[in-house]
Chains A and B, each alone.
Chain A
Amino acid sequence: MPLQGNIRDFSTTQLLNLVNLSKRSGMLTIFESVPTGENDAMDQPKMKPGGERAKVAFNKGKLIYAELFGQDNGLVAILNKAGKLTDKQAEALKARSQNTSDKALAMRLMGAKYVNQNDIVTCIKQHILDVIYNLMTWSEGPFRFDDNVQPDTQNILVPVELENVIIEGARRIREVEQLKSHIENLDVSLKFPENPKEKFKGVHLSVEEWKVVSYVSPKNTIRQIAKANNMSEMEIRRVVYGLEQAGLVIVVKPRGTGATKRAGSRRTKKAPPVADKKVVNRLIERLKSM
Chain B
Amino acid sequence: MQTVKMVVTGPFSSGKTEFIKSISEIDVVSTDSKITSENEREQKENTTVAMDFGRITVDEDLVLYLFGTPGQRRFDFMWEILAEGMLGFIVMVDSAKPETFREARSILETFRAYAPTPYVVAANKQDHPDAWEPEDLRIALSIEDGIKLLPCVAKERDSVRNVLLELLYTILEEMEG
| Chain A interfacial positions (CB closer than 8 Å to B) | 1, 3-6, 8-10, 14, 17-18, 21-22, 38-44, 266, 268-269, 271-277, 279-288, 290
Contacts and interface: CB of A to CB of B under 8 A. Distances in A.
A14 to B, nearest CB: 7
Contacts of A276: 175
Contacts of B139: 17-18, 21-22
B4 to A, nearest CB: 5
A94 B97 CA distance: 45
B115 A269 contact: yes
Contact of B86 (A38, A272, A287, A288): A272
B2 A272 contact: no
Nearest to A11: B102
Interface in B1-60: 2, 4, 11-13, 23, 37-40, 42-43, 56-59
Contacts of A287: 56, 161, 164-165, 168
Contacts of A271: 115-117
Contact of A282 (B39, B62, B132): B62
Nearest to A5: B98
A140 B136 CA distance: 21
Most chain A C-beta atoms within 10 Å of own C-beta, residue among B13, B39, B84: B39
Most chain B C-beta atoms within 10 Å of own C-beta, residue among A1, A17, A287: A287
Contacts, number: 122
Given A271-B117, A280-B175, A38 B42 contact: yes
Nearest to A2: B130
| B-side interface size class | 35 or more
A6 B97 CA distance: 10
Given A1-B131, A8-B99, A287-B164, 14 more contacts: A4-B130, A10-B98, A22-B135, A22-B136, A272-B86, A276-B175, A279-B4, A280-B87, A280-B175, A282-B62, A283-B56, A283-B62, A284-B165, A284-B169
B144 interface: no
B42 A283 contact: no
B85 A273 contact: yes
A269 B114 contact: yes
B140 interface: yes
B11 A272 contact: no
Given A41-B97, A42-B100, A266-B110, A279 B2 contact: yes
Nearest to A1: B129
Contacts of B37: 43
A276 B168 CA distance: 12
Interface in B63-100: 64, 80, 83-87, 94, 97-100
